[in-house]
Structure 1
């Protein structure tokens, strides 16, 4: 195999993307941990709060979090033990169960959100001009929609950025 294959720019760009993602999660995780949440717990709660009625079918939550059905069950079990979510049966389909954000879950998110947003500003959004950030969001949506076309289902409209 040609040694130059390891210098392929496609490897570089994906490597940088993964390193940036992992590094950003590492910078954001301590604030979440102070609130008693893992990044996965926080992600689940945020997806619920940004969904209509604060609720998602368990299968949709699993898909949005890239989890198996057993994986999302474990996350929801943990969040339910903390009274952050509850399960509700679907009135229309007995096979479907919803994860629903509770008042305590909303309060926990409110309690951590200001510090989380400060972390995002410090480690991410402040690194870009408003125009660069707009282009980055557009580019990330293009990538997300290509690799995970169902992820946009039941999500809130795109956030606005402050300058």
Structure 2
């Protein structure tokens, strides 16, 4: 019997009223936040939030490049979704792919100067949108608590088991 069922009845462990309320608030808030950030970035930079995140990751990597598999893992997305996103970013001239010198089967994504310039132009508007939508609404204690909660959730959903069905392994 799995941990989601009760030992005596075999029934699922249904959410309590409070848990249901918290779940719905979480779902609504994360959906609305992602939509808010997507709309802001589409309007100001012509890209969705996921693409912006990829540019940020590349900007912070040594030599502004990362192996595609590592980029997918850090972005928590499937390799096929990453490949599609990188193709779109390449079309804009913001990223280019290069063969990985240490593994002829691998590829690196490299942030171009044009991509870095786009990131510099779009970052002020993005950080303002994040701050207004999230951090300006929370007390410092709430920010710390939210951070602790999100780290616990992420750790529980990203097991050490390399055979786990995680997005970047698909």
Give yes or no for TM over 0.5: yes
Q: Tell me the secondary structure at the aligned position of residue 93 of structure 2.
A: coil
In the superposition, relative to structure 1, how do residues 51 and 138 fare at CA in structure 2: closer, same or farther (>3 Å)? Answer: farther
Query: Structure 1 residue 136: deviation in Å?
Result: 1.6
1:87 maps onto 2:97 in alignment: yes
Query: Structure 1 residue 145: deviation in Å?
Result: 2.2
1:141 maps onto 2:144 in alignment: no
**What's the counterpart of residue 21 of structure 1?**
30
User: TM-score under structure 1 normalisation?
Assistant: 0.79
Query: Structure 1 residue 81: deviation in Å?
Result: 0.9
Q: Is the 8 A contact 1:31 1:112 kept in 2?
A: no
RMSD: 2.3
User: TM-score under structure 2 normalisation?
Assistant: 0.76
Report the more deviating stretch, 57-66 or 108-117: 57-66
- Which whole-Å deviations, capped at 9, do the CAs of 1:11-61 have from their partners, x for residues lacking one? 433332221111111222222112111122112112222333322211122
Alpha-carbon distance in structure 2 between the residues aligned to 1:18 and 1:137: 17
Larger Rg: 2
Q: List alignment gaps of at least 5 residues for structure 1.
A: 151-163
Q: List alignment gaps of at least 5 residues for structure 2.
A: 1-10, 161-170
**What's the counterpart of residue 104 of structure 1?**
114
Aligned pairs, how many? 148
In the superposition, relative to structure 1, how do residues 11 and 63 fare at CA in structure 2: closer, same or farther (>3 Å)? Answer: farther
Q: Where do 4+ consecutive residues of structure 1 move more than 6 Å?
A: none
Pick from 73, 76, 80: which aligns with 2:86?
76
Q: Is the 8 A contact 1:76 1:85 kept in 2?
A: yes
Query: Structure 1 residue 143: deviation in Å?
Result: 1.6
Alpha-carbon distance in structure 1 between the residues aligned to 2:55 and 2:103: 23
**What's the counterpart of residue 40 of structure 1?**
50
